[in-house]
Chains A and B, each alone.
Chain A
Amino acid sequence: MSEHSEHIVPARLYVLIWAILIVCTVLTAWVATVDLGKFNTVVALGIATFKASVVVLIFMHVKYTSEKMTKAILMASVFWLLLLLVLSLTDYSSRPQGLLIPSSSDLVRLV
């Protein structure tokens, strides 16, 4: 990719993304105070992923690069992390006591 065809992102877009990130930050902090039950975590991680994507695509120029390897590396790394998390979970979630250890006083000795 020659520098002469290097895409120059308009300053306005950078500032717009910045504003979106700020809004999302405040939003995620506020939503955490609202009772959505199980969805609190989903929403929090969803907003975080959205923010991260926006940083990757615009600030880190992934949207504008013709370089396939960049996207490949990013996706490979995230996928590999998911391998670690998911396969470890196959162990933890299928243990007899399940994913949640009952927080019962009977189970724990006094230290």
Chain B
Amino acid sequence: MATAAVSTERKNYLNAEYGIRSWLFTTDHKRIAILYLFSITLFFFIGGFAALLIRLELLTPGGDLLTADAYNKAFTTHGQIMVFFFLIPSIPAVLGNFLIPMMVGAKDLAFPRINLISWYIYIAAGILYIHCLVTGGVDTGWTFYPTFSTQFSNTKVIEAGLAIFISGFSSILTGLNFVVTIHRMRAPGLTWSRLPLFVWSHYATSIIMLLGTPVIAITLVLVVLERALNLGIFDPTRGGDPVLFQHLFWFYSHPAVYIMILPSMAVISEIVPCFSRKRVFGYDFVAMSSIAIAAIGFVVWAHHMFVAGISLYSAMVFSFLSFLVAVPSAVKVFNWTATMYKGSVSFNTPMMYAFGFIGLFTIGGLTGLFLATLGTDVHLHDTYFVIAHFHYVMVGGAIMGYLGGIHFWWPKISGRMYPEAWGRLAALIVFIGFNLTFFPQFILGYLGMPRRYWQYPPEYQVLNVLSTAGATILAVGYLLPLVYLLWSLRYGAPAEDNPWKATGLEWTTSSPPPTFNFDEIPVVTEEAYAYEKMPLPEEVTLER
């Protein structure tokens, strides 16, 4: 059995320096990734708590746990935290930051200090948002629609808007760093067609971050100005147009969902070949599909506005384009599946999450087509069908990809192996809990239960109770990794450099890697997924 030196003896990025200053003033992309990891986990649980309130309230048809206003705040908080403070940073800021320099064979990102600044901006935004929460919260729905947000809401819209405005800059700077790094810091021999698909997907994500985020930034500025100065830009009684807000808002917020899913797809593209011991089928197609998703994703935004008052003509245009955007996603799903075909598939925890992703993302994506169809959207818009759809892609898709990635690269990040049995158990619990939570919501939506409602007719109760039951199971599934991953930091088996025998430059470094990643910059001569040349990993035992 190959013996690796116990990681804690060798100098690596974790033990290079100690003390809080060495973390808060670090420019090491790996440490910054860990800073983000802790921050977004915190926000995940705050947003999850808001979800808990929602699901508890919806156990019964009456409004008995929360007041109507409090309920509005609960779903607004849940949405804004989960979107802006968890999902959008999650994989890029944690896994992207950690891995991209190593994957391209560089010592760091192009702009390490800007990387650190992006974390501080995120923290500042987060603190402002939490302050907003504890001093009253916001109840406009995560979408801030005027004229409720600009005139009639009595909650802290300005503060929440400013917090999200600030968080956008964190996103922009992260995207900037990635794009420049990928263009300018690739190791010798690492041509674009030899890049891991993880990098391709993050490149596409970064383009969206760069070109989309500024638009929501200025939109939030306009909302804040309108509310503070009573301007009337979005007020129809004063000549303004609330639909204009929606155009500007969704111009970013639709591509934002691709910011949330592309990195997850990036992770799946790494996990699937590794645990199938086979190169990715159709590498070029998968790479190009990331770019296509980013590009087409920018021209579909008004499918959120079909019943908002846009013209029928433009609705048809956007409906057609929305159908188009499903194609590159489907290409990825087919290619991952083809990768597994006749591969040597093993069901380690990351692969379980990958399977979950592929199935759940497919369902989520297909139900998106129901919503992209004008006729059915009239019936389904603003119902629980929409909620189920986006949770299937964002939770069943994005979060499962995130968890799969955390597990896959955990040995590299921490130098420890997580306990495999617990990992698989948690993945299973997440999958079961997730489906129990959200599948009933498809039915509820189809039957007509509106979203954002704090009370509902009694005939919807059974499905709501099922959903809440699922949510508690899902919560267990999320808490388990928190516990055993932390446990593994102390008691987990020390990880060798490449426990999965995966391809990729990051696996050529020690686990954990040294501060500057590579002693010598590698020279790349092979394509990305040359699994036929890799040995099989040793059986990962289930005892621990």
Contacts and interface: CB of A to CB of B under 8 A. Distances in A.
Interface residues of B, number: 22
Nearest to A90: B314
A1 to B, nearest CB: 12
A25 to B, nearest CB: 26
A23 interface: no
B299 interface: yes
Interface stretch (A9-17, A40-48, A79-87): A79-87
B490 interface: no
Given A76-B211, A80-B211, A83-B298, A88 B247 contact: yes
Closest 3 A/B residue pairs (Cβ): A94-B313, A91-B314, A94-B311
A90 B313 contact: yes
B31 to A, nearest CB: 29
B338 interface: no
Given A83-B298, A88-B247, A111 B311 contact: no
Label chain B's interface by main secondary structure: helix
Interface of B: 183, 211, 215, 237-239, 243-244, 247-248, 251, 298-299, 301-302, 310-314, 317-318
Task: Choose among A83, A90, A91, A96 the residue with the greatest number of B CB atoms under 10 Å from its CB.
Answer: A91
Contacts of A77: 211
Contacts of A38: none
Contacts of A91: 243, 247, 302, 310-311, 314
A100 interface: no
Given A88-B247, A95-B311, A109 B237 contact: yes
A69 interface: yes
A95 B305 CA distance: 14
A84 B311 contact: no
B396 to A, nearest CB: 30
A96 B183 contact: no
Contacts of B215: 84
Contact of A80 (B239, B298, B314): B298
A49 B298 CA distance: 25
Interface string A86-111: 01101110111000000000001101
Interface string A14-29: 0000000000000000
